[in-house]
Each structure stands twice: as C-alpha cells, then as structure tokens.
C-alpha cells in the first residue's frame, strides 16, 4: 500500500469554492473509481491550503486509476482557477500500521512532518512500533508513513485526530507526564526539523 498526498496552496478566499467543485466531481465519479483516504483544509499553519490523500496498492494502480479517471471524463474537477501551487508526495505506511483511520474522530486534525538524518528511519519505525499501542489509548493515530518515491526523502509524517484544541493539549500533556510519548526507542538525535499544521476535514472526507 502507498499513499499519495497532494497539497495545493490556493488563492486567498477560494477554499470554499474549491471544496464545492472538488467535492462534486469526487462524489459524482472519482469516488467510484478510487476513494479518498482523507481530505483536509488548513486552519493553523499555511493558510489557503488543502491536502487530499489517496490510497493505492502500488504506483501501477495509481497510474491506471488516474488514466481511467481522465479518460472517463469524471476527473479532474474544475479547480484550476483556484490553485496557486501544487505538490505531490508518495508515502509508504510504517509496516505495523493498518488502513488509514476513517469515521468520526475529529473534528481537529494535526499533521506533523519530521525530517530526519539519513539511515534513521528503520530505528524510528522500531521505536514507534513499541510505543504506539499505549499512545493510541490516549487518542488514535490516523496514519504514520515515510517518504518513498516523490518529494523530500528522509521524512515521515503522522496525523492525529482530536476532539478540540483543549483535547489536543490534554492528550499531549498526559503522554509526556505518563512517559507514554514520545517514543523512547527511536534513534537519539535522528530528527533534524519538525513542522506541524492543524486541519479540518472536508465534508466528503472519509475521516471526519
């Protein structure tokens, strides 16, 4: 399984119109060919940004689905006038992760992106595997995955749902105070940079 994350920076004040156009095209054709894992728009962090996350078995299926969507006329949506910048990245889930979380778990989502030193991803995966079950008792991880084919390498991202800003702070404080989080088994000094953004889910996102 791979996930493609497509991040679009939109022109100011066009997010609602983008969501309407994207959602209509998705619900009326693309969803039947290839459903989303999640769709978010930014609340805190880079503004006027949307992120759509697509699951595929492999790169060959991604290419086949995109070809079928275009040839059938259901895709792409009429959104080009709203877009300022587009980025696509391919990620592979950590091996112990199940499918992308779905259903009602938000409405607030935190997307965390870490750049790490070369060669440390295997050790990070091991540390997460040991620590995540206890962390999931506090709030579930929607997905954790590392960069593979396209985009910056030596990077991993993790997505967390929360009921509110207060819930996020409570969970994070409890994780530290109980020693549950962050993972203790990850390589010391592996992380170079850390970034995050807080997001909301679009009405048509499978993860809410």
Domain boundary assignment for the chain: 2-201
User: Per residue in 98-151, pLDDT tens?
Assistant: 899 999 999 999 999 999 999 999 999 999 999 999 999 999 999 999 997 766
Decide if 133 contacts 185 (C-beta within 8 A): no
DSSP state letter for 158? E
Mean pLDDT, rounded, of the chain? 96
Q: By C-alpha distance, which of 98, 103, 83 is closest to 136?
A: 98
Chain centroid offset of residue 204 CA: 15
Amino acid 196: pLDDT: 97
| Ranges assigned E (strand) in 77-189 | 83-93, 108-116, 143-147, 155-162
Instruction: With a cut of 70, say whether residue 192 has pLDDT above it.
Output: yes
pLDDT-derived band at 185, boundaries 50, 70, 90? confident
User: Per residue in 26-46, pLDDT tens?
Assistant: 999 999 999 999 999 999 999
What is the rounded average pLDDT of the residues 178-199?
A: 93
Exposed, middle or buried: residue 173 (CB in 10 Å: 0-12, 13-18, 19+)? exposed
Amino acid 151: pLDDT: 66
Q: Was domain 2-201 assigned CATH 3.40.50.11890? A: no
Instruction: With a cut of 90, say whether residue 186 has pLDDT above it.
Output: no
């Amino acid at each position: 399984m791979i996930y493609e994350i497509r991040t679009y920076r939109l022109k100011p004040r066009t997010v609602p119109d983008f969501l309407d156009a994207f959602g209509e095209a998705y619900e009326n054709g693309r969803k039947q060919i290839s459903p989303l894992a999640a769709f978010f728009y930014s609340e805190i962090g880079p503004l006027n940004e949307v992120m759509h996350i697509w699951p595929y078995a492999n790169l060959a299926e991604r290419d086949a689905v995109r070809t079928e969507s275009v040839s059938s006329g259901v895709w792409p949506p009429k959104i080009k006038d709203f877009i300022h910048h587009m980025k696509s990245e391919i990620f592979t889930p950590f091996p112990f992760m199940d499918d992308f979380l779905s259903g009602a778990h938000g409405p607030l989502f935190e997307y965390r992106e870490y750049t790490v030193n070369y060669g440390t991803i295997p050790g990070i995966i091991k540390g997460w595997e040991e620590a995540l079950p206890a962390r999931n008792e506090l709030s579930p991880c929607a997905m954790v995955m590392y960069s593979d084919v396209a985009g910056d390498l030596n990077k991993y991202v993790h997505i967390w749902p929360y009921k509110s800003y207060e819930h996020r702070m409570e969970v994070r404080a409890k994780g530290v105070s109980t020693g549950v989080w962050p993972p203790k088994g990850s390589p010391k000094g592996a992380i170079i940079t850390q970034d995050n953004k807080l997001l909301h889910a679009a009405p048509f996102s499978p993860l809410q």
